[in-house]
Chains A and B, each alone.
Chain A
């Protein structure tokens, strides 16, 4: 039941709203009718098998790519090209190689000033930047250049760099994907701390199921494994959101990863999104999150066709 009014209310209320988004490259459909609405303060993780279009979805939210059809909204307004409303942390290339750690973090502040106010802006925001680095536990390396840091250290700086602009939403594309397991857990805890302290809204893309379930207050499963009623005509189908769970906020301790509920949920998500033989029909998805909605077309669902009937 998604009436137009309900949808428009959701669009106005929530920070990020995506409706009927398709993305295709030539004949290849990557995203197939994506509907998604993310409330303020949520730490929303997106997980799915490799090649399912997670990063494409993120690039659409960033504004780096335009959807083939459909719209993305930030606070009710069309998302448009990349700007300071959305902070970004990539797996790599987040830091500027020609700037020191401190200057990388200061950049967001320095760019607010004119050429002439640059020196003053650096001085004025220096303490704030050092505090951010302190919070990210990387302050002692403030003088170094990015290439002198390890991968985990670089990502700490990248998070500080994005947060100093106080973006409405922080978008993260596999930010810890290239890190060692130990460093990765450290970074996950750090992210949770910062998320709580700053009341951030985070949209976090990962291929790591455990990470998604551990971090998220909400887990969205994007997958190309599903069934619908389009028949042979729709051989070229893209990924859909096949599951959408609200998760209780647990303790930060990484020990929850071995609790029975955690393992059960991870297994459930694996069945729903990662296992081609477990594919469900579009009308059978587990979309239990309260903000979840689905705009199926009549072609996709026979039940819908019957309902509309003659």
Chain B
């Protein structure tokens, strides 16, 4: 039988080809950018829209590896730690709240009756639309930014955990009771460990939204943070800062996702998603 390397439904690309194929779009994109940048800079050396690699490296050097002359801080490091702290706090609170609410709503019909409608309602409110309310009522400090991330993603996590718990076979619950479990044990020793891997999956999916809310909040009212910096230098058309920052955020997001995936595999070997 003829083997197809690349084309058609029967294709079975060998590993080297798969890697090459995956790299191709990145290489093309980079080449396209560099070519366009070169053309523009040849026309006008002061052009700011498509900075060269050297200009970007220069900007990164200035922001990441040299302390700011006024505050004596490393600007990119400070931006990164501030943003990650907000993100971690917002996502962590959402995960904990979503887990507890979803678990109890899914397991105890009374809790479900009280909370399901309100959680669904809150999850439909567009978080960015209430950002002004948050800034007005909570001030422009950290609290409002964390609150935006929290309000943006906790309802989704709650609903996902609720669905997971509600979909557990009834037999499992009966079985646990028949082994002498009381209701607390049922919730926290039988059901909770079973939804933990699902929680990690949901958090992974929610991180994209969490970054969106973080950057939006930082863009509007902040004194540091990755999103703040990007929107600050936008005024000077400083693409040499914006592009490295965007790549850095993407890299951070990818790393967090990879860590969560690793944790899922290590901590829950029984879970096959």
Contacts and interface: CB of A to CB of B under 8 A. Distances in A.
Given A93-B172, A98-B193, A98-B194, A111 B270 contact: no
B253 to A, nearest CB: 29
A145 B178 contact: no
A97 B175 contact: no
Interface stretch (A23-31, A82-90, A184-192, A201-209): A82-90
Contact of B174 (A64, A97, A112): A64
Interface in B165-200: 169-172, 174-181, 185, 189-190, 193-194
B169 A62 contact: no
A167 interface: yes
Contact of A165 (B174, B180, B193): B180
Interface in B194-212: 194
A93 B175 contact: yes
B172 A82 contact: no
A96 B172 contact: yes
A275 B181 CA distance: 43
A147 interface: yes
A217 interface: no
B269 interface: yes
Contacts of A92: 171
Given A96-B190, A97-B194, A147-B272, A90 B180 contact: no
B214 to A, nearest CB: 33
A64 B270 contact: no
Contacts of A86: 178
16 contacts: A63-B174, A64-B170, A82-B178, A83-B177, A84-B179, A84-B180, A87-B179, A90-B175, A92-B171, A94-B175, A96-B175, A96-B190, A108-B179, A111-B181, A161-B179, A162-B179
Given A94-B175, A161-B179, 13 more contacts: A84-B179, A88-B174, A88-B178, A93-B169, A96-B172, A96-B175, A96-B190, A97-B194, A98-B271, A111-B185, A145-B270, A147-B270, A147-B272
